[in-house]
Structure 1
Amino acid sequence: MNFNVKQHASNRFRELIMLLSMTVFSHNAIAEPLDKSAIQFVGPIAADMQLKPYQTEHNDAIINNLLPSLRHSAKSINVFSETIHWQSFNNVNALTLGGLQALKFTASASRFSQGTLTLKGIDKAQLFINGEKQQSQQHSYELALSQGDHQIIIIAEQVANWHNVEIDYQAKTNNDRLTIHYNQTHGLSAKQLYDSPTITALSLSPDATQYITTTRYYQESSGNQARTVTELKNSNNQVVYRFESGQPSNITWSPDNNTLVYILDGQLKQLHRKTLALNVIAENIQEADDFHYYDNNSLLFVWSKSPPADDNLTKHYRGLQDRWSYARTTSQVYLMDIASGLSKPLSQGPQSHVIEDFNSKRGTVLLSRAQHTMQASVQPITELLEINITNAQTKLLGQYTTFNQAKYTGDDIYIIAGPDFHDGIGRNLPTNMLANNYDGQLYLLTKQGTNILPLSKQFDPAIAQLSVLANGDALIKVTEQDTIALYQFDLSKQRFIKLTTGLDVIEQFSHSKERNPSIIFSGTTASTPQQLKRLKINKDKATIMWDSSPISYANTDVAKLEEFNFTNNEGVEIQGRVYLPRNLDTTKKYPALVYYYGGTSPVTRGFTGRYPFNLWAEHGYVVYVLQPTGATGFGQEFSAKHVNAWGQFTANDIIQGTHALLDTYHFIDRKRIGNLGASYGGFMTMLLATKTDMFSASIAHAGISNITSYWGQGWWGYLYSGEASKNSFPWNNNQLYSQHSPVFHAEKVTTPLLLLHGDADTNVPVGESHTMYTALKLLGKDVELIEYKGANHQILARDKRFDWWDTMLAYFDKHLKDQPQWWQYLYPDK
């Protein structure tokens, strides 16, 4: 039966065929050939080819350009107007074939596996695993495959006799077994999560008839360099204009809907939307940013000035902020005339200014600035200013702490700030509790500063971003429990209305300026990848404009997700979720991973990110993610417990939640539980290691081991501690700074611990991991320390990200699966 017939068989018969076609290869003294029925074949490709690619100077380029078609085609490929169908390799009955041929199969590993794959009878070929070219020694390839599905493609250029072609596999040990099959359905991979196209920027025109998106993706050939495409599209999602020469930034639309302005190649350019004609407005705009059409003829923007390079032997600190590399850069606001290119300053002085909003009809601009550029305060004071462009008069509207954002709404002003804003008028807490000012609240500044109204005291979600609609209502992005949602604040009725987006996490949004506005937004759910959607506010029904799922995740199995909440010992419900491995067999025992953050924001339900829960489940782990006490998005009282706690409530919730998990999910092996977190979550991992032995392995990335040194040395340590350790300092509350620091209890650690850190981390300096590593090493504990060279607080570069993900899984495989081979492969004992 050929491949196409199998594809159209009944589901039951198809499953039987797939089962029979799977071949398992284990260790033998002599390599064993792969079953040809489990391999797909396509060819001849371009049978009239006079010269094979290897006979030219462009061999690799030719093969690499063909590879995507082979990787993503399921039934056939089209080459020079000819349709060539995939078929089972055992149906090939030819001595020689013209052009090129290709073989494709999936190698599934139930654990990290090593072995040798040998091509016999193929004189010239290139072999690719998951799109990455492999190097050979005399037609043999050394494989090192992590648990999961791996696509293998062989592109043959020279074969003397196809009857003699065999693919042999010899496992390194009896445990390095591979299952070979051609089932199109496969598990989720790391490269899918990182390389797949994602929309990184979007902007909707004021009249809602056009929009711009920037899409980023990665390819093997480009390495760490992302490929980006920016396109102007109409309301039918048709491309009107593509920015081919580079990627524009600072895109802004004219109020009359005729033009848009952007920066590209160091030039400020204007594009006419109807004619697509271009003209250059200005060229000498280095360090210019945040452009807005003030009116149809002028632009508002911020122009920064960095100090000259400092070649002195010393650096004299003028204040706490001088630890920041950008502290002495100042930014001022300018107005540029489009016709002449002339710019005039609207602000001046030693303080940097930020554009909050503007109203060209009133002739005013709303600005904010730090009161003192080098003030010694854990709660910086922000001044809110209004500048009249006509007469250049500046009006001080107020001086505020916890300030975040301001926008005009008619004659009034919306403000986002913490609960303590304006002497605490936004607080909704018992009198004995200190507010967590990361819990954003909405306020209304009326009559130009004479009165301030709290609008969200009874609204539990934490407000993060604000935009104002044409009717004066606010469109806000909020953290709501473990989701990121969009709400409309109806100003006339003083109520919040949740918009029906159909997504768990809204990443970005843009709205039109119409009276009945449209919104475009991108986001994900916990189990589905990114989508771009459009919503008309009055209808509140979202439609999909773009979906990455069929592009990059077709035929991909994703982990099943279940909600798991429990009530802690204080009677508070702690929310969480559980990701289950593919093909779960509840009669077996599975290892589990527990993930948390704890640093005042929840772990949201994004499909992917720095910590890929769906990928961990694909590697055979039950993954539990919980939202411990102290997180924003659950109400002010819940988030306020983060203040002056430093893990006190968080640790209890993690321990109690893990016990509740084990009581519910009986297929989890209690002796094989790992835990991990990053930043504050890394601090929690270290702290938990001093409080419990319930975990069998732990990982802390960029964690804090000594609260005092983080407070004094981290770039933003003292600012963050202004909330996390409010009113507490080493000299007036040394109990908090010492007894809550993991390193002061290092002797209690019994769990194997892996410390990960970027050696260029400015947020949590790498010394925090060094301190804990030193203590545990001197105590003879099981500890590992791995630094990523040149990496800051996050591991962003593609090659480092894959290595980082592999390192974490390999460490857990070693300790939770009794499979040290992957770890030894990455970090040999030598």
Structure 2
Amino acid sequence: MNYNSTWRGKAPRLTTALAILTLSTAAFAAPINKTDIKFIGPIAADMQLKPYQTEHQDAIINSLLPSIQQPTTSITVFGEKLKWQNLDKVNALTLGGLQALKFSTHAERFSQGTLTLKGIEKAQLFINGEKQTAKNEKYELALPQGDHQIVIIAEQVANWHDVEVDFSPNTDIDTLTFSTTEQHGLSAKQLFDATTVSALSLAPNAKQYLITKRHYQDSTGNQANLVTELKNDDQQTIYRFESGQPSNIIWSPDNNYLVYLLDGKLTQLNRKTLSLKVIANNLDGANSFAYYDNNSLIFSWSKSPTANNSLTKHYQGLQDRWSYARTTSQAYLLDINTGLSKALSQGPLSHSIEDFNSQRGTVLLSRGTEAMQAATHPTTELIELNIANASTTELGQFATFNQAKYTGDDIYVTAGPDFKEGLGRNLPDNMLANNYDGQLYLLTNNGQKATPLSREFDPAIGQLEVLANGDAIMKVTEQDSIALYLYDKSKQRFSKLNTGFDVVEQFSYSSNRSPMVLVSGSNASSPQQLKQLSISKNKATTVWDSQPQAYANTDIADLEEFNFTNTAGIEIKGRVYLPSNLDKNKQYPALVYYYGGTSPVTRGFTGRYPFNLWAEHGYVVYVVQPTGATGFGQQFSAKHVNAWGQYTADDIMQGTQALLKQYPFIDKQRLGNLGASYGGFMTMLLATKTDMFSASIAHAGISNITSYWGQGWWGYLYSGEASKNSYPWNNSTLYSQHSPVFHADKVTTPLLLLHGDADTNVPVGESHNMYTALKLLGKDVELIEYKGADHQIFARDQRFNWWDTMLAYFDKHLKQQPQWWQYLYPEK
């Protein structure tokens, strides 16, 4: 029988299923049951010098560690197979080589204590892969709720009969359970560090593809580990990049070559011989390469102005707040044989390459109509360039425009509903369109005629690609999913491609007669996969799955759909993540998450806000999709305009009340809510409207709509939709009365404000506004800034701290467990 050892706090007792030691608050050490510790060894028994006797101790141990961490029954070292066994089965006094101990510990709550190794003279100890530092042979533990793996690699032991691992809790509430189980709950490290596909590209003939995978690890910290491989259709690697990573990867139309940028060189790889040729050097600022034909490449080349070290900066327009505003980009053609480049566009205005047709000798270019446009709805001009004679044809100037692509002699355009004086509108006359709700149009007769194609199609259209037959593949927002759709031009019909993903991340397609699509994505409850899909058969097969490698033996939260009908009679979608060990006879705290801006909270497995991780920490997590988001139809998204939380707040509050009725095991006295950016604004706004929440978190939220409008880099552009036709001087009520800081005196809920101190999208002053108001009012408010972070928290170390901070704050207020928060942010 295996026993699990648990330390709580008073006198020891033993049960048949569980070895439980309860210690006094004096916190004396007691040994962990040896049946709860795995042992393997001797590892390399004939080792003459132990690692500590060499100059490479850490390197040797760290290289061995991953094999020890794996949930296997044995490992093979220098051809010898070694099996794991329980420590109580070890009868030897001394052993050669190295030995390893491994066990799991589960924390019911944030727990601290001291781990002591007895009888082991030389050892290194790792918790979740991170090396721990001992003080007087004692290791201080501070473990959040959840499962943690402890590995000890021993180098010198005089007598294994004397070996013990002791644990002493700091207080009687520090609870750890020890066992040999390999099954564990989802961890933050898994979500961030796991290998994922970060780039992919499928060859025109679908016979090969290039894939870049990324992962993180403790030894490299914030630096991602990237590997790019060229694979054939049998999934065999035929070329591998490791040290330097290629970018701007393209395939030749004749399928013979692969071209990429690496170390500042534009390089051509022969797909048959794998020989290399440098096409051109000195291409700083060059990007978006594509084969124009078999002999030349078309690309964009950007030029930044000379750094200005003067004492002043004279603003030329609203965009001058952007650090890159004066960078210009032009279209170029490059000869592959000689490396010679020639400009296709010029002037003070930047030109973007939308598409090209080498048979016709034309290029589609878009450009702003002014270098520094002083408008909330900048105008984009679409032109067609004839390369042979450098003549241009203006196809139109559009107040809303996203993308343009050739389809035979016609042109697809993606833009908002207001494109061409509202051609795509599917709204009552009294409603203003939300132009973030992407629509598809067809331009014919040299742009003289435009036809709306998606007016009755509810998903919001994003990325657009065109197949050789003129049909289009589109990446769309469909309610809370990201899907791929095919638009059949001849039948004028949209059909969904069956990727099997809730969220499509990236895709690439072939140009052969039976086109294939290579696509990566994930589902709400399953991690990233790579699949290949036949468009004609509309069937996908899995090429690679991250689950066996990164999430083996891992408990994942259960997921349930939860929709309700609001008081306006509109169905509001949502989903609920339930802790994997849920006991419906108990009461659980819950977290309510939302965005509320122009897009829904999609169903990806992980991301900046790890719903599955929160559920693992014992929270029921409700993700609600309130009124105003794209992907649900134009009338739904249009309610975002000039609302600033008016409908969104009601949906969140009504949804939370409906949730409590549907899930009686949620404790209504322990509700938390949080959101970021517009969702951070919603958190602050809700704090002025309701006391149903016991703790709230706003990350990078807007507290004053006026200051965001004037100071955020894109504030006035976003407000062009969110506050369409409304300005502080003609609609002061909207800008003031919908701003949370103007109602700070109504806040009763404890509030945590999080912000990157280098945020350019929503400046950190937005959190400062609210913090200042609430502090002066004597409210319960905390403000934490992340140094050097912009609108999102990307760096690995900051991401882990950020996730910990949010959970620790909720543990403090919703579980009455302040210890983790006090550990992270001790009072001076």
Q: Alignment partner for residue 101 of structure 1, among 82, 99, 102?
A: 99
Query: Structure 1 residues 365 and 233, CA, compared in 2 at 3 Å: closer, same or farther?
Result: same
Counterpart of 2:613 (choices 611, 615, 618) is 615
| Number of the residue aligned with 1:260 | 258
Asked whether the equivalents of residues 23 and 181 of structure 1 are also in contact (C-alpha less than 8 Å), the reply is: no
* Separation of aligned partners in 1, 2:533 and 2:327: 40
Counterpart-to-counterpart distance in 1, 2:271 and 2:22: 63
1:482 & 1:383 partners in 2: Cα distance?
32
Write the deviation string for residues 513-546 of structure 1: whole angstroms up to 9, x where unpaired: 0121000000000000000000011111110000
What corresponds to 2:120 in structure 1? 122
The aligned counterpart of 1:84 is: 82
Work out the CA distance in 2 between the residues paired with 1:619 and 1:142: 22
What is the CA–CA distance in structure 1 between the aligned matches of 2:368 and 2:553, rounded to whole Å?
A: 52
What residue in structure 1 maps to residue 11 of structure 2?
Answer: none
Deviation of residue 243 (structure 1)? 1.3
Query: What's the Cα RMSD here?
Result: 1.1
Task: Report 1:645-656 matches (<5 A).
Answer: 645-656=643-654
What one-letter code is carried by the residue in structure 2 that aligns with 1:90? D
Alignment of 1:281-360 (within 5 A): 281-360=279-358
Shift of 1:27: 3.3
Which among 243, 246, 249 is matched to residue 248 of structure 1? 246
> How far 1:237 sits from its partner (Å)?
0.8
Alignment of 1:309-458 (within 5 A): 309-458=307-456
Instruction: Supply the distance in 1 between the matched residues of 2:625 and 2:672 (Cα, whole angstroms).
Output: 17
Tell me, what secondary structure is at the counterpart of 1:529?
A: strand
**Which residue is 1:533 aligned to?**
531
- The corresponding residue for 2:556 is 558
List aligned pairs for 1:457-496, cutoff 5 A.
457-496=455-494
The alpha-carbon deviation at position 448 of structure 1 amounts to 1.3
2:533 is aligned with 1:497: no
Give secondary structure in 2 for the equivalent of 1:588: coil
Relative to structure 1, the CA distance from residue 443 to residue 498 in structure 2 (aligned partners, 3 Å threshold; closer, same or farther) is: same
Which runs of 5 or more residues in structure 2 are unaligned? 5-14
Separation in structure 2 between the aligned mates of residue 796 and residue 237 of structure 1, nearest angstrom: 31
Q: Equivalent of 2:194, from 193, 196, 212? A: 196
Q: AA paired with 2:555?
A: D
Instruction: Give the whole-Å Cα distance in 2 for the aligned partners of 1:49 and 1:334.
Output: 62
Q: Does 1:544 align with 2:542?
A: yes
Partner of 1:27: 23
User: What is the one-letter code of the residue matched to 1:539?
Assistant: K
SS in 2 for 1:509: strand
Shift, 1:74, TM fit: 1.8
Aligned partner of 1:44 in structure 2 is 42
- Of stretches 390-399 and 44-53 in structure 1, the one that deviates more from structure 2 is 390-399
In structure 1, what is the Cα distance between the partners aligned to 2:502 and 2:172?
44
Kindly tell me: are residues 61 and 20 of structure 1, through their superposed partners in 2, closer, same or farther at Cα, counting changes over 3 Å?
farther
TM-score normalised to the size of structure 2? 0.98
Q: Secondary structure of the equivalent of 2:402? A: strand
CA contact (8 A) 1:126 1:134 kept: yes
| Paired letter, 1:480 | E
Distance 1:443-1:25 versus aligned 2 partners, 3 A rule: farther
Q: Report what 1:743 is aligned to.
A: 741
Aligned mates of 2:166, 2:507 — CA distance in 1:
52
State how far apart, in whole Å, the 1-side matches of 2:677 and 2:313 are: 29
Are 2:732 and 1:734 equivalent residues in the alignment?
yes
Q: Decide whether aligned partners of structure 1 residues 39 and 276 sit closer, same or farther in structure 2, where only a CA change above 3 A counts.
A: same
Counterparts of residues 778-789 of structure 1 (less than 5 Å): 778-789=776-787
| Offset at residue 396 of structure 1 (A) | 1.0
Contact 2:708 2:766 in 1 (8 A): yes
Structure 1 unaligned blocks of 5 or more:
7-18
Alpha-carbon offset, residue 245 of structure 1 = 3.3
Among 799, 802, 806, the alignment partner of 2:800 is 802
Give distance in 2, aligned partners of 1:376 and 1:576.
39
Q: Which one of the candidate residues 636, 639, 642 is aligned to 1:638?
A: 636
Aligned residue in 1 for 2:706: 708
| Distance change in 2, residues 1:579/1:20 (3 Å) | farther
The Cα of 1:23 is off from its aligned counterpart by 3.9
**Paired residue for 1:55?**
53
CA distance in 2, matches of 1:653, 1:715: 29
Contact 1:109 1:145 in 2 (8 A): yes
Query: After superposition, what is the alpha-carbon deviation per residue over 1:624-667, rounded to whole angstroms, capped at 9, x for unaligned?
Result: 00100000000000000000000000000000000000011000
TM-score for both structures, normalised by structure 1: 0.98
Write the deviation string for residues 223-252 of structure 1: whole angstroms up to 9, x where unpaired: 000000000000011101001331000000
- The separation in 2 between residues aligned to 1:465 and 1:436, in whole angstroms, is 18
Residues 226, 242 of structure 2: 8 Å contact kept? no
| 1:178–1:24 Cα change, 3 Å | farther
Partner residue in 2 for 1:187: 185
Q: Distance in 2 between matches of 1:72 and 1:425?
A: 58
Relative distance call for 1:26 and 1:765 in structure 2 (3 A) is farther
Q: Is 2:514 the partner of 1:523?
A: no
In 1: Cα distance, 2:447 partner to 2:87 partner: 78
Counterpart of 1:311, as a letter, is N
Q: Map residues 675-686 of structure 1 onto 2, 5 A cutoff.
A: 675-686=673-684
Report the AA paired with residue 545 of structure 2.
Answer: D
2:2·2:36 contact (CA, 8 Å) conserved in 1? no
Deviation at 1:260, TM superposition (A): 1.0
Are the counterparts in 2 of residues 71 and 153 from structure 1 also a CA contact under 8 Å? yes
2:602 counterpart of 1:628: no
Cα distance, 1:177 vs structure 2: 1.0
- What is the aligned partner in structure 1 of residue 507 from structure 2? 509
Q: Letter of the aligned partner of 2:227 in structure 1?
A: V
> 2:770 corresponds to which letter in structure 1?
M
Q: Are 2:235 and 1:237 equivalent residues in the alignment?
A: yes
Change (3 A) 1:463 1:22: farther
1:193-252 deviation digits (Å, cap 9, x = unpaired): 000000011000000000001100001000000000000000011101001331000000
3-state SS, counterpart of residue 446 of structure 2: helix
Whether the 8 Å contact between 1:22 and 1:181 is mirrored in structure 2 is: no
CA distance in 2, matches of 1:412, 1:438: 24
Q: Which amino acid aligns with 2:416?
A: G
For residue 91 of structure 1, report the CA deviation from its aligned partner: 0.6
Structure-2 separation of matches of 1:577 and 1:395: 50
CA displacement at 1:551 relative to structure 2:
0.7
Q: What is the rounded CA distance, in whole Å, between the counterparts of 1:264 and 1:105 in structure 2?
A: 44
Task: Measure, in 2, the Cα distance between the counterparts of 1:517 and 1:784.
Answer: 54
C-alpha separation between the residues in 1 aligned to 2:373 and 2:276? 45
How far is the alpha carbon of 1:600 from its aligned partner? 1.0
Q: Following the alignment from structure 1 to structure 2, what is the Cα–Cα distance between the partners of residues 447 and 93?
A: 88
- In the alignment, residue 41 of structure 2 is paired with which amino acid? G
Contact in 2 for aligned 1:26/1:177 (Cα 8 Å): no
The CA deviation at 1:21 is 6.5
Which aligned segments of 4 or more residues in structure 1 are displaced greater than 3 angstroms?
19-29
Tell me, yes or no, if the aligned pair for 2:42 and 2:97 is still in contact at 8 Å.
yes
Aligned to 2:601: 603
C-alpha contact (below 8 Å) 1:754/1:783 kept by paired residues: yes
Specify the code of the residue in structure 2 equivalent to 1:570.
Answer: A
Contact 1:24–1:180 (8 Å) recurs in 2: no
Secondary structure of 2:526's counterpart equals: coil
Q: Is the 8 A contact 2:71 2:182 kept in 1?
A: no
* Alpha-carbon separation, structure 2, partners of 1:359 and 1:574: 44
Q: Secondary structure at 1:506's aligned position in 2?
A: strand
- Which residue is equivalent to 1:769? 767
Post-superposition offset of 1:401: 1.4
What amino acid maps onto 1:584 in structure 2?
L
Secondary structure of 1:448's match?
Answer: coil
Q: Tell me how far apart the structure 1 counterparts of residues 352 and 545 of structure 2 sit (CA, whole Å).
A: 35
User: Which letter does structure 2 place at the counterpart of 1:163?
Assistant: H
1:131 maps to: 129
CA drift at 1:73: 3.8
* Structure 2 Cα separation of the partners of residues 151 and 106 of structure 1: 5
- Aligned-partner Cα distance in 1 for 2:287–2:651: 44
Structure 1 residues 28-52: Cα deviation after superposition (integer angstroms, max 9, x where no partner): 4421100010111100000000000
